[in-house]
Amino acid sequence: MLEEVTSFELLPDYEIYVELSDGRKGIFDTTPYLDKGVFHELKEPSYFRRACLSLGTIAWPHEQDFAPETIAHDLKPMKGEAPPSTGKAA
């Protein structure tokens, strides 16, 4: 089953609090992507704040978005929470 973003909240420093359809939640840091191709525009704080939920992921008006799989893979746990499950047995 593919994860989908069910809700999000923009945080300082280009981080996003994300909740996924599989129940995981955590922080997605967009900074590693901001100097790459179409994501460069997200560096503008007023544009970054225009994010919306679209088709199970986070998107911006000029068609930038992150694949839900990328968000799930890079999701960092919030302080005091267990790391996100990879779905693999140890």
**Domain positions in the chain:** 5-74
Q: What's residue 87's pLDDT?
A: 42
CA dihedral 53, 81, 74, 20 (to 10 degrees): -30
What architecture is the 5-74 domain classified under in CATH? Answer: 2-Layer Sandwich (3.30)
**Is the whole-model pTM more than 0.75?**
yes
User: How do the pLDDT tens digits run along the chain, 90 residues long?
Assistant: 588 999 999 999 999 999 999 999 999 999 999 999 999 999 999 999 999 999 999 999 999 999 999 999 999 998 765 544 444 333
**Does residue 10 contact residue 61 with C-beta atoms inside 8 Å?**
no
Non-local (6+) Cβ contacts of 33 within 8 A are: 39, 42, 66
14: amino acid identity, one letter: Y
